[in-house]
Amino acid sequence: MTDSTVGFVGLGAMGRGMAASLLRAGHHVRVWNRSPEPVAALVALGAEAADSPADAFAAETVVSMLANDEAVERLLLDPALLAGAGAAVHVNMATVSVALAERAEALHAEHGIGYVAAPVLGRPPVAEAGELNILAAGEEGLLARVEPLFAAMGRHTWYFGASPRQANTAKISANFLIACAIESMAEACSLAEANGVRPTDLVEMLTGTLFPGPIYTGYGSMVAERRYRPAGFRLPLGLKDVDLALGAGAAAHVPLPFGSVLRDAFLDALAHGDADQDWVAVAAVARRRAGLPE
């Protein structure tokens, strides 16, 4: 049995804002999260609390936003959960591996549930504002069915094909490029500072001339000001995304030589105790390598 409610699983830094956007758009949303506090906050906004992931999967449409492959595998790819689900379609908006996307699509198909991948670009404030960029892939009919949800959560939806893995590939590629940009800005700022140029002046010039746009402007200022908190996207998640890119590259025989450099830089940052900082804190590694004060 299904109902017209939207089930929502995963109310972390991104999921909270996304679920709230659905509520603002007038959707009836049933929410589940491992910890109760975010559930209570959404209930105060008009959501219904789910007793379990299975309760969320009784809804006609389910949206999930979990942290990584392990969480998706453990919570949502349980054959018993899917066998008992009333859902017609599951929209997985997490950044997960290409391999997991393929497994998830096949397992959902075995149980007669449509599967759409729709990872997003944007940090928590963007999610709260309903201004995300959504990268979607899946069967055309399923995408049309969930488009009103995308319209509530995002400013634009980019479609990448009929196979969910295509959306995850696009997101992994995008995050890999962001990580490269952060590292290159960190090295450039270290070079500038070591030669008497203020990093803030360098970034102001670069973003006003050669590199305008949100990535260089936003992350560039964080690098230049050494502003690593609050963590909108924690450093371990950055390492996860670099590893996803390396894994996808290896599977497709696509070398990503700079990816190995990035992975070592993120591991260096974690080894120095920066796990609770934003992933832009990987810039501190470039400073240490240059002998600059921390």
CA angle 243, 244, 248 (to 5 degrees): 115
**DSSP E strands: which ranges in the chain?**
3-9, 29-32, 48-49, 59-64, 89-92, 114-117, 120-121, 132-136, 154-159
Task: Please confirm, yes or no, whether 240 is among the known catalytic residues.
Answer: no
Q: Give the DSSP letter of residue 218.
A: I
Pick the catalytic residue from 90, 171, 234, 287.
171
Nearest-angstrom CA–CA distance, 104 and 264: 30
Alpha helices in 61-214 (DSSP H): 69-76, 79-83, 98-110, 124-128, 140-153, 164-194, 199-208, 214
User: What is the number of residues in the chain?
Assistant: 294
Q: Hey, what are 38's tokens? A: 């975010």
Q: How far is CA 260 from CA 70, 154, 174, 276, in A?
A: 22, 33, 17, 22
Task: List 137's β-bridge partners, or say none.
Answer: 117
Q: Hey, what are 40's tokens? A: 């209570």
Share in percent of the chain as helix, strand, coil (round to 5): 55, 15, 30
115 in Cβ contact with 165 (< 8 Å): no
Task: List 114's β-bridge partners, or say none.
Answer: 89
Q: How far is CA 274 from CA 180, 183, 277, 278, 279, in A?
A: 19, 16, 5, 8, 9
Task: List 8's β-bridge partners, or say none.
Answer: 31, 63
**Catalytic residue numbers?**
171
